[in-house]
Amino acid sequence: MIFDVLTLFPAMFSGPMTESILKRAQQAGLMTLRLHNIRDWATDRHRTADDAPYGGGAGMVMKAVPTAAAIRAVLALEPEAPPAPVILLSPDGTPFTQALAHELALQPRLILLCGHYEGLDERVRETLVTQEMSIGDYVLTGGELAAMVLIDAVARLRPGVIDAESISEESHSDGLLEYPHYTRPALWEDHPVPPVLLSGHHGAVARWRRKERLRRTLARRPDLLPRAYATGQLSRDDLNFLAELGWVP
């Protein structure tokens, strides 16, 4: 999978994108990250990519000319392939979710446009951006960190990047939060590991983990349960257990 990132600050991606799982995914050829400095398409000797907003006001606005030229140049890098989605990372965008991450992971290539300053000239948003996404209801100094979050969340869903079993029961994979995890030692500062996890009884472990997922979701994110119920993610046993805990659909 190819991630083309258009940014004013490409150096921000060194470190987060060159360590751990994402580093190994790139080394294995499972993903490719290409960084493009929007300033390279600026037309003046100072490589200016922003200007004051029409109508006045604080801050600066990303200019249409270099940004549009950058998008068009990057779109042209794969002439034989269907046009890739151009995603603007913006607080105005659709909330980014695990379901959206799964959808995007099916794409062979994504073009991520990192907003900055007060925003992007609206004409570019209207003519060249195909989707806008937000990683939360707050404002960052730019879209770079949001792009890194999206890349991490999407890349790890690609085949071979992470073991499929590790993904299947993660938080939000099926509408529920993940169960608690423990490792050695079995007793730490008077806190023991739950005995069922030491039993070797795989069926009992699976049932315990399912109940803990339900218990944790009810305690921490009860808003997720109605959606899990509506989409058929909850079995009769799940509903009976939740009823014991005081939740009914």
**pLDDT single digits (tens) 56-86:** 998 999 999 999 999 999 999 999 999 999 9
pLDDT of residue 168: 60
Please give the Cα distance from 113 to 129 (Å, whole number): 8
Q: Which fold has domain 174-244?
A: Trp Operon Repressor; Chain A (1.10.1270)
Please give the Cα distance from 62 to 117 (Å, whole number): 7
**pLDDT single digits (tens) 10-68:** 999 999 999 999 999 999 999 999 999 999 999 999 999 999 999 999 899 999 999 99
Is there a contact between 105 and 83 (Cβ–Cβ < 8 Å)? Answer: no
**pLDDT single digits (tens) 110-142:** 999 999 988 999 999 999 999 999 999 999 999
- 140 labeled binding residue: yes
Please give the Cα distance from 105 to 91 (Å, whole number): 22
Mean predicted confidence (pLDDT) in 215-223: 96
Mean predicted confidence (pLDDT) in 76-103: 95
Is there a contact between 162 and 117 (Cβ–Cβ < 8 Å)? Answer: no
Please give the Cα distance from 104 to 114 (Å, whole number): 17
pLDDT at residue 171 is higher than 90: no
- 135 labeled binding residue: yes
Return the residue matching tokens 């937000």. 134
Q: Angle at CA 228, nearest 5°, toward 226 and 233? A: 145
- 139 labeled binding residue: yes
Which residues of the chain form CATH 1.10.1270.20? 174-244
Range 144-167 burial, b when 16+ CB lie within 10 A, else e:
bbbbbbbbebbbbbeeebbeeeee
Indicate the burial class of 243 (C-beta count within 10 angstroms; 0-12, 13-18, 19 or more). exposed
Domain 2-164 sits in CATH at: 3.40.1280.10
Q: Indicate the pTM of the whole model.
A: 0.88
Please give the Cα distance from 242 to 222 (Å, whole number): 11
Tokens of 127: 């003519």
- 137 labeled binding residue: yes
**pLDDT single digits (tens) 148-160:** 999 999 999 999 9
pLDDT at residue 167 is higher than 70: no
Mean predicted confidence (pLDDT) in 98-105: 96
**pLDDT single digits (tens) 187-204:** 999 999 999 999 999 999
Give residue 24's Cα distance to chain centre.
18
Q: What are phi and psi of 176, to 5 degrees?
A: -120, 165
pLDDT of residue 118: 87
pLDDT of residue 121: 96
pLDDT of residue 175: 86
Q: Which of 67, 33, 27, 75 is nearest to 47 (CA)?
A: 67
- 136 labeled binding residue: yes
